[in-house]
A and B are shown apart, each in its own frame.
Chain A
Amino acid sequence: MKITRRALLAAGAVLTATATLAACSSGGGFGSPAASASSSAVSSDNHQPLTILIGTSGDAETNAVKDSVAAWSKQSGTQATVNVASDLGQQLSQGFAGGNPPDLFYVTNDSVATYASNGSLEPYVTQLKNKDSFYPSLVKAFTVNGKEYAAPKDFSTLALVINTDMWTAAGLTDKDYPTTWDQLEQVAQKLTTPQHVGLAVSGQFERLGVFMAEAGGWLVDDNGKAAASSDANVQGLTYAKKLLSEGAMKYSSQLGAGWGGEAFGTQKAAMTIEGNWISGAMTKDYSSVKYKVVKLPAGPKGEGTIQYDGGWGMASQSKNKGGALDLVTYLTQPDQQLGFAKAFGVMPSVQSIADQWKQQFPEQTAFLDGAASSKSIPSVAGISDVIKNFDSQLDGLSSTDPKQILDKVQTNLQALPGLS
């Protein structure tokens, strides 16, 4: 009896000790209060060193960002370190939970709501001096519940990429670039041979969604409410289903390729729908394939494409928000953005250098031209799971009723906060 009591006492002591240890050792970890998150004013000790976390496409991007940040550091006298994330989402979550996140980091428009919803992000964009220089659609893509959370740094749109050799071999000329759905269907049929299919796309909403946009639909309506099961969306997917059933379009997975660019690069398809990142893959892996990028054809309700946006997120827990704000202003200046575009081929987020960019990359103008008619994935927490589910349903599009798929997407969307 005595021993049991003593055992209990000792166990209690050990537990207390461990609890104390945990509280001390984790420092800024679980022990630290989230109080620092609540201070909203972007002003603080401007000499606290900054850390910047980026998810990079390669050495070119890493070095370009590092050089720019170093130049700012020299100019401002604030120390700043650029770290490359191996898994950006995971490392950010760890930072937020541990109370020690990077001051600035890359965010995408489909993840911004996740971080904004729990207060991890500082809605600092209204305080940016160059706020009005961005494309409004980009700023909107990073707006959650009326607050602008990230300064756009670059963006991509989808366009139609055409293999020029196959194009001429099918007897097509520059005048035949499709501008309507009917024309796209016709050229896709003409370009389909036993060796290759006319059009190959990844079987995902992230690509097939362009047909929904061109039919005048989207996941949400103008008021930001769930509208997946609209007639326009049904029309868009019905068109895609028609192309699939005719054999003029195939999913890249059916061709044994991981994405549209791979199917296109390995010449299993004459056309694909991809973003401007495809130019990097073409130069690196498929340099022998000649191609041309044109705007996507207009649907029944005009032109439409999807845009993917990158921006700079600022941690609400940052200890030097003033310095971080200054750095974002510096990095999103036109000349810096043009430098990034040259270094790793992104499209700048400011309108003023659009013409310069087009001169620099004449073969990619179609991507930038798409900006005017492009739609973004709604910035709502939990949207990525809904889209993942949509994607897995689209896999069976050729044997499923589009309306049935979209109804299920609508149900899932309505379960998200603020969409119903």
Chain B
Amino acid sequence: METVMARAAGTTSAPARSATRRGPGIRGRDGVAGWLFTAPVLVILGLFLVLPIAMAAWVSVSSWSGLGSPFSSTVKFVGGANYAALLAKPGLAQSDFGTSLRNNAWYVLLVVPVQTAVSLLLAVLVNRRIAGQGAFRTAYYFPSVTSSVAITVIFLFLFSASGTVNAVIGWLGGTGPGWFTETRGVVQLLLQAVGVHAPAGNGFLGLTWFDWVAGPSPAMLVFIVMAIFTTSGTFMLIYLAALQQIAEEIDEAAVMDGAGPWKRFWYVTLPMLRPTTFTVVTLGLIGTWQLFDQIYVGSKGGPANTTLTPAYLSYSQSFINNAWGRGAAIAFILFAIIVLFTVLQRLALRERTPRRRRSHG
């Protein structure tokens, strides 16, 4: 009885003890191990991501001019002055920034929808059971794995004044524009062709409203074509993976319901691809707003700033003009723009029925 009691006491006290002592001990050791295992990544992310961003944030509100450390005592806090020069104060800094936003907005406006549509089209084509499917997939994907610098150089040759593209246009009886010398926007060129000229007037960020709607210059158009050409392959792969996830039964069920191929695509396939479309459009928006390497290699922002982008302007203000604060401020404004557009398109692509929303998270 005593032993039973003792055993009972033992059995009752043992869990009680373990609950107070061993319990947190196990969790604690797990925690240490967890932090130990994630430490390398945290250190790397902290060192190469968080810290530089924090430094850039400081630079964007400082007077740092690029000599020595941005944390030295000579560097002053200037508040929002760098941001104000870009957004509020009329002047060259503002109009250059406005120009870069105009250029890049047109680029985004034309590249994102077209590359999404083209990649979906390619994916649907490649998804069919046809001979040589693998070959097509490789061919479509090929521009995506080629270096953007190499492709830019090739495009520069193709679109030079006496290049292949103008030769073809000439052979067809037309006259190609000076792709990298024409400074008027294509909308402006079309308007001028029908006799509409730039009206004087107010504007936004140092540009008149006419400047905003002038459209991309032919040089920017070349970069737009190039972006569609190079990135459609990548997004085709994403769409292809999603298409292969759609069970054939669903398609069959739609056939049984009497839906034709167009209706099946429009009312069955496309809605089921919505999460993928969200991914593709988001990646597209982020990538296009950060246009830099093609500009750096191809045009340095010229002719007449018509291919200037915020990312390139940020670089040139920092590295060429030593206006590091302004350069960093441009980077943060660009960040805000990208976040804004991503949130907007998330709202636009939101699933409308609550039941479905749960199933897709």
CB within 8 Å for A93 and B181 given contacts A18-B51, A118-B67? no
The answer to whether B91 and A412 touch across the interface, beta carbons within 8 angstroms, is yes
Q: Interface stretch among B112-120, B314-322, B348-356? A: B314-322
| CA distance in complex: A377, B324 (Å) | 24
> Which residues on B sit within 8 Å (CB–CB) of A17?
43, 46
Interchain Cβ contacts under 8 Å between A and B, 11 examples? A18-B43, A21-B43, A33-B69, A34-B74, A90-B320, A99-B68, A114-B320, A117-B322, A118-B322, A252-B181, A396-B183
> Which residues on A sit within 8 Å (CB–CB) of B324?
97
Least CB distance, A3 to chain B, in whole angstroms: 7
| CA distance in complex: A412, B93 (Å) | 10
Name the residue on B nearest A392 (C-beta). Answer: B304
> Which residues on B sit within 8 Å (CB–CB) of A382?
92, 321, 323
> Which residues on B sit within 8 Å (CB–CB) of A119?
65, 67
Please report which residues of chain B, range 24-79, place their CB below 8 angstroms from some CB of chain A when the two chains form the complex.
Answer: 24, 27, 31, 35, 39, 42-43, 46-47, 50-51, 55, 65-72, 74
Name the residue on A nearest B317 (C-beta). Answer: A385
Among A2, A34, A388, point to the contact of B69 (Cβ < 8 A).
Answer: A34
| CA distance in complex: A227, B250 (Å) | 75
Among B35, B92, B320, point to the contact of A415 (Cβ < 8 A).
Answer: B92
The answer to whether A30 and B55 touch across the interface, beta carbons within 8 angstroms, is yes
Name the residue on A nearest B71 (C-beta). Answer: A30
Name the residue on A nearest B183 (C-beta). Answer: A395
The answer to whether B69 and A118 touch across the interface, beta carbons within 8 angstroms, is no
> Which residues on B sit within 8 Å (CB–CB) of A418?
none
Please report which residues of chain A, range 89-107, place their CB below 8 angstroms from some CB of chain B when the two chains form the complex.
Answer: 89-90, 93-94, 96-97, 99
A303 close to B (CB within 8 Å): no
> Which residues on A sit within 8 Å (CB–CB) of B93?
385
Q: Which residues of A contact B (CB under 8 A)?
A: 2-3, 6, 10-11, 14-15, 17-19, 21-22, 30-37, 89-90, 93-94, 96-97, 99, 114-115, 117-120, 252-254, 256-258, 316-317, 381-382, 384-386, 388-389, 391-392, 395-396, 412, 415
Name the residue on B nearest A412 (C-beta). Answer: B92
The answer to whether A114 and B74 touch across the interface, beta carbons within 8 angstroms, is no
Name the residue on A nearest B48 (C-beta). Answer: A18
Per CB-CB distance, the 4 closest pairs between chain A and chain B, nearest first, are: A34-B68, A256-B161, A392-B304, A118-B65
Least CB distance, B88 to chain A, in whole angstroms: 14
Least CB distance, A99 to chain B, in whole angstroms: 6
The answer to whether A3 and B31 touch across the interface, beta carbons within 8 angstroms, is yes
B251 close to A (CB within 8 Å): no
> Which residues on A sit within 8 Å (CB–CB) of B91?
412, 415
Least CB distance, B277 to chain A, in whole angstroms: 36
Name the residue on B nearest A258 (C-beta). Answer: B181
| CA distance in complex: A253, B50 (Å) | 46
Name the residue on B nearest A411 (C-beta). Answer: B91
| CA distance in complex: A343, B151 (Å) | 35
| CA distance in complex: A253, B51 (Å) | 45
> Which residues on A sit within 8 Å (CB–CB) of B42?
11, 14
> Which residues on B sit within 8 Å (CB–CB) of A388?
305
| CA distance in complex: A253, B184 (Å) | 12
Least CB distance, B289 to chain A, in whole angstroms: 22
The answer to whether B69 and A30 touch across the interface, beta carbons within 8 angstroms, is yes
Least CB distance, A35 to chain B, in whole angstroms: 8
Name the residue on A nearest B197 (C-beta). Answer: A399
Instruction: Report B143-187 CB contacts with A as 1/0, cut-off 8 Å.
Output: 000000000000000000110000000000000001011110000
